[in-house]
Chain A
């Protein structure tokens, strides 16, 4: 079993916002962005855009997508799919769980497919 890390309260991230969990806490060697999407749910992707270098947490969150702040590639927050150019590589997903008021992040555990 991989132990989740408690990344704080659900109230820390407003809807439409995101927070970066630095690599020294994620243990994956990479920063992870945790998004509070406009469907009310929380999702996590590797923070660095798969195109060049940009923090997706600084991106534009709309619905369940995030648009990269540098060249506007879009990613699906649920599955990490690269939805448009210039990104051609999907972003890696990580499982996020809400437990009471707490947000639990499972680094390197892919998000379970969410039914639309």
Chain B
């Protein structure tokens, strides 16, 4: 029987892309997105342009609100509270039951809280939603002492953005430098030093307790016994995949809703995509769960093809970007693993890093303001083109030429 209806729980990048691709591929059946946050918007600007007030709520919508009506896609502002894979059906917060031929879970995740005393304090902030960003913008007053725990992508971006509010920023991370798995040691060190150069105070340490006094001043205690005082504390240590719905209805989960390469969960009526999904290969191997924007888009496209029983699209090496202190960082593939690490320098400053396997293939690349370098690297990786270590290190060699 042809597919007649689809309900998508969650209208982030993944859920939105699934809906858009279903329509683009000619699906004319009933299509519903359920999301308590309403019209889908983009999250990356929350730590950048939106936080800074350079772009408003309307400007970070993934598409004009009118598009949904034009495409006959119903957006229901509610939460899915129950899933019945067998029916299949979902129950909304107000008790409404929606039946559909297939259900797609695109519920993303929630900010991970620190598992230490004080980690659950309501005054310890996180950044995942537009509302979180609005709140953060409000408290970022000139002179305010902001302590950020976690110097990964979001923590580093907020540190950079907060400086322009005149905040005095302390960035705490257990490792120095952070982000080595994403960009390699050399670029990670350069990026971490940029914080210092721009006036962020860096602290390497493990937080063991957070407390707040009556005046609203927080004290973060570190494992070495030292403590940091702050008016505002933000924790950016990744997310916890939203697996509760899936687990409660008997689907396989393991730090993510487990899916096959077509994004199908352990129940044939239910699919999962984006940050919440984790791929389990046919031999049982679990892949690392991705928490990147492009992965959300790719899996949204894949699920649309899978639901329509069309050929699944192929996606190349994973890719992410980050913006801080006026620079644009990109990474593709993986910088973690065996092989040789190659650094490309310009006037003595590292601008790009590569990981080359023992077979002479490119496995990962990251760059700071690298222009098209990472795009070129991505094509080299996807085409399995052999690379030469000297050429990669030589800043006069245009990687674009090597990729053609």
Surface stretch bound by B, among A20-28, A69-77, A102-110: A69-77
Does B375 contact A72, Cβ atoms closer than 8 Å?
yes
The answer to the question of B383 belonging to the interface, with a C-beta cut-off of 8 Å to chain A, is: no
- Residue-wise, chain A 51-85 has the 8 Å CB interface mask toward B (1 for contact) of 01000001110000001011110000000000011
- Are B17 and A85 in touch, CB under 8 angstroms? yes
Residues of B within 8 A of A71 (CB): 321
Report chain A residues within 8 Å CB of B49. Answer: 52
Q: How far is the CA of A88 from the CA of B63 in the complex (A)?
A: 6
CB-CB nearest in chain A for B49: A52
Query: Does A86 sit at the interface, judged by CB under 8 A?
Result: yes
A58 to B16 alpha-carbon distance, docked (Å): 28
* Cross-chain contact of A60 among B17, B64, B375 (Cβ < 8 A): B375
Task: Give the distance to chain B from A67, nearest Cβ to Cβ, in Å.
Answer: 7
A70 touching B375 in the complex, CB below 8 Å, given contacts A52-B49, A85-B17, A85-B297: no
A86 touching B375, Cβ below 8 Å: no
B261 on interface, CB distance cutoff 8 Å: no
Q: Is the interface of A mostly helix, strand, loop or mixed?
A: loop
| B242 → chain A closest CB, angstroms | 22
CB contact between B375 and one of A67, A85, A88 (< 8 Å): that residue: A67
Given contacts A72-B319, A85-B297, contact A58 B63 (CB under 8 A): no
Q: Given A52-B49, A85-B17, A85-B297 in contact, is the A69-B62 Cβ separation under 8 Å?
A: no
Please indicate the chain B residues that have their CB under 8 angstroms from the CB of A69 in the complex: 371-372, 375
Interface residue? B135 (CB, 8 A): no
B209 interface residue per 8 A CB criterion: no
> Whose C-beta in chain B lies nearest to the C-beta of A84?
B297
Kindly provide the distance from the CB of A114 to the nearest chain B CB, expressed in whole angstroms. 22
CB-based contact A88/B328 at 8 Å: no
* B interface, size bucket: 20 to 34
Q: Once the chains are docked, how many angstroms separate the CA of A59 from the CA of B42?
A: 22
Given the complex of chains A and B, what is the CA–CA distance between A108 and B35 in angstroms? Answer: 40
**Closest A residue by C-beta to B370:** A69
B118-162 contacts to A (CB < 8 Å): none
A3 to B160, CA, bound (A): 47
Asked if B62 and A58 sit within 8 Å, CB to CB, the answer is no
Bound CA–CA A52/B63 (angstroms)? 13
CB distance from B10 to the nearest CB of A (A): 16
Which residues of A sit under 8 angstroms from B328, Cβ to Cβ?
70
Separation in Å of the A30 CB from the closest CB of chain B?
Answer: 18
Are the CB atoms of B375 and A58 closer together than 8 Å? no
Instruction: Give the residues in chain B near A70, CB-CB below 8 Å.
Output: 321, 328
- Taken together as a complex, chains A and B put the C-alpha atoms of A19 and B207 apart, in Å, by 51
- Give Cα distance in the complex from A86 to B63, angstroms: 9
Point out the residues of chain B lying under 8 angstroms from A16, CB to CB. 400, 404
B 347-404 contacts with A by CB, 8 A: 371-372, 375-376, 400, 404
Q: Scan residues 308-363 of chain B and give those whose CB is less than 8 A from a CB of chain A.
A: 319, 321, 328
* A84 contact set on B, CB distance < 8 A: 297
What's the nearest-Cβ distance from chain B to residue A51, in Å?
Answer: 9
Verify A58–B321 contact, CB threshold 8 A: no
Taken together as a complex, chains A and B put the C-alpha atoms of A52 and B376 apart, in Å, by 22
Q: Which chain A residue lies CB-closest to B372? A: A60
- Complex: chain A residue closest to B403, CB-CB: A60
Note all chain B residues with C-beta closer than 8 A to A58.
371-372
Residue in A59, A67, A86 whose Cβ sees the most chain B Cβ within 10 Å: A86
CB distance from A41 to the nearest CB of B (A): 18
Q: How distant is the Cα of A72 from the Cα of B317 in the complex, in angstroms?
A: 14
Closest to A17 in B: B400
Taking A69-B375, A70-B321, A88-B64 as known contacts, 8 extra A-B pairs with beta carbons closer than 8 A to each other, sorted by chain A number, are A16-B404, A58-B372, A60-B375, A60-B376, A72-B319, A85-B17, A86-B42, A88-B62
Q: List 11 A-B contacts (CB under 8 A).
A: A16-B404, A52-B49, A58-B371, A69-B372, A69-B375, A70-B321, A72-B294, A85-B13, A85-B62, A86-B62, A88-B67
Query: What residues make up the interface of A, taking CB atoms closer than 8 Å to B?
Result: 16, 52, 58-60, 67, 69-72, 84-86, 88
